[in-house]
Amino acid sequence: MPNVHPTAIVDPACTLADDVSVGPFSILQGPIRIGAGTTVLERVSMRGPATIGEHCTIYPGCTLGFPPQDFKFTPESVSAGVQIGNHTVLRENATVHAATNPDTPTHIGDRVFMMVNAHVGHDSRIDNNAILTNNTMIAGHVHIAEKAILSGGVAVHQFCRVGRMAMVSGGSVTVADVPPFCIAWGRSTISGLNLVGLRRSGFDREHISMLRKAYSDTFREHLSMGEIIDILSTRSANCPPLDEWIQFLKTSKRTIATHMNPADVERAARIHATEAYDE
């Protein structure tokens, strides 16, 4: 039998596994299904439809499944709600908003770590093993791919994608797609490949070399995206990571983040400051 604190309110429409724990003053409203081994701590608010997987931990102040921040969504609209996978952790005050459509829920995958105050907007998808650090802001219809890491205070614009194993530096704003395996920083800029992450994940040395060449080719001047894809496609047959890179470029509906080296920006800023002082 679930362990529900006397001060918690659990709607009869909820379905809880026998070993689920619900803490003080938490409120679960509507059709919510919670899997085995999941712990809901105090003062958590959920609104169904929602599905929470097994062995998750939801910390105080989290709010899940409330209506999307979207003007087209009305009180009469039907939402597919929220879906959260297994072994996922939502730390204090994390928020996940319900979908704007009746068919596909806002999705948080398995083993996702949402840290304090992280927000995931409506219709977004966060794939397995992604990490959203404190105060991360994910807008609606965003896709964060597997093993991506978003550092503190990162903001991701609507409909953008962050590719697999990409890292986004703290305080960055992303209004363009960040390709897989890259390090993003600043405003929609990337500085190179996440080489440390690739090596730690056991990527083949030859594949890493091919990705480095692909990165260089992708950001060559005076080439269209179609020309870049044609060049890369000639050598992708035996390199699945390179094929993944190409498919990401092909399917981008927004622009791709641009390459810019932080050292170059810092150097330009120093030159500008010196010139301004001389004037």
Q: How many residues does the chain have?
A: 279
Report the distance separating Cα 33 and Cα 50, nearest Å.
6
Which of 110, 123, 127, 177 is labelled catalytic?
A: 123
Active site residue 123: yes
What are the residues whose beta carbons fall under 8 Å from the beta carbon of 210, sequence distance 6 or more? 235, 239, 241, 242
Which of 87, 107, 119, 122 is labelled catalytic?
A: 122
Which of 81, 85, 140, 163 is labelled catalytic?
A: 140
Active site residue 171: no
* Contact predicate 28/46, CB 8 Å: yes
Active site residue 11: no
Report the distance separating Cα 137 and Cα 118, nearest Å.
6
What are the residues whose beta carbons fall under 8 Å from the beta carbon of 7, sequence distance 6 or more? 24, 25
State the catalytic residues: 122-123, 140
